[in-house]
Amino acid sequence: MTDTASITASLLAWYDQHARTLPWRGIHDPYRTWVSEIMLQQTRVDTVLSYYERFMARFPTLKSLAGAKEEDVLKLWQGLGYYSRARNLLEGARQVTREFGGALPADPEKLRKIRGIGPYTAGAIASIAFDLPVPAVDGNVIRVLSRLFGIRSDPTLPKIRAEIDRLAASLVPSGRPGDHNQALMDLGASVCVPGTPDCARCPLSAFCDAFRAGDAADLPALPKAKPPKVIHYAVLLIRSGDRVLARRRTETMLNGLWCFPMLQDVAESDAIQSAVLQKWKLALTAPRLLKDARHVFTHQVWQMTIWASEAAPRVPAPAGFRFVPLKELGALPWPVAMAPALSCLNP
């Protein structure tokens, strides 16, 4: 029988000595916990720190965020990636204002009804901000528990994931549940890491099935990830006087961010000129190749060639586009993928 009390006691004793000092810890503010947990999804703590400080300075309360413009929120998020998190956070704040009187509820089930809050984030807010003894299971926790309990089946399978969630819930103490959950996260981030864990420093090695079996490095038993799809784009810097053509994306990916015109699988100057005329009814001077660039997303790689061209000085922008004055580019939210193209422009 698993000694859950000893596991929790050892984990909390380790946490008391090794917990990372972070600006969102040591407070019971559900809004701050929410913002930090959303930012930390698929993003390193070191990266999040400066973004969190700027975000909280600009939107110190849920009410201030709920009243914000999407473009302002995206601008603050610029460079952090996974921009749907920012849009969901904004919509979630508006939803909380409408449905919960402007205050995040403590109940995890009610939290999960809020836009952008899934089971993990609901558990994190409920345990950290409201001291409720509920689990918060993210990738770090899945890895720790797979090794601790010797789970050698794919944790993405519903049956296996349900078992991990059950085990996580069995470990959460009635006292200090938030610290317990954060301790598991810290352990997974610093000791029980992917690949080769540092079992010699782990406070749970005496309880760990994978440590005894010698296969901790092989767990969790995740399926092999598919390689990202490589897409070739020509990125066009089309100037008209002191303006450049751009548009605010409406696609799911990078929604709400600004991008320059892009043509897929077009790699020659005359082909670009012809495609722009046919697609957007815009006559250009012969495009000049400026540089190559590459940006890696989670499931895609954009292999880009960046081209410069000129349109007539006062020509109207095609539908869905805008000629943006060069001096205004910095005020708009851009994805990091557009940074190489932006660097080619001199306002």
Q: Rounded to an integer, what is the distance from CA 295 to the centroid of its chain? A: 16
Rounded to 5 degrees, what are φ and ψ at 322? -145, 140
109 included as an active-site residue: no
- Residues 306, 341 contacting (CB under 8 angstroms): yes
Please provide the size of the chain in residues: 347
Residue 102 contacts by C-beta under 8 Å, 6 or more apart in sequence?
Answer: 62, 63, 66, 96
Is the Cα torsion angle 35, 37, 43, 44 positive or negative in sign? Answer: positive
Q: At what angle do helices 30-40 and 119-130 cross, to 10 degrees?
A: 140
- Residues 111, 16 contacting (CB under 8 angstroms): no
User: How far is the first Cα of the chain from the last one, in angstroms, to the nearest whole number?
Assistant: 68
Give which of 269, 264, 268, 280 is closest to 309, Cα–Cα. Answer: 269
Could you tell me whether strands 243-248 and 229-240 are parallel, antiparallel, or unpaired per DSSP bridges? antiparallel
Is the Cα torsion angle 101, 40, 136, 253 positive or negative in sign? Answer: positive
Q: Which of 37, 251, 268, 310 is catalytic?
A: 37
- Residues 167, 155 contacting (CB under 8 angstroms): no
Place of tokens 């007539």: 312
Q: Residue 212 has which token pair?
A: 């005894």
Q: Which residues are catalytic?
A: 37
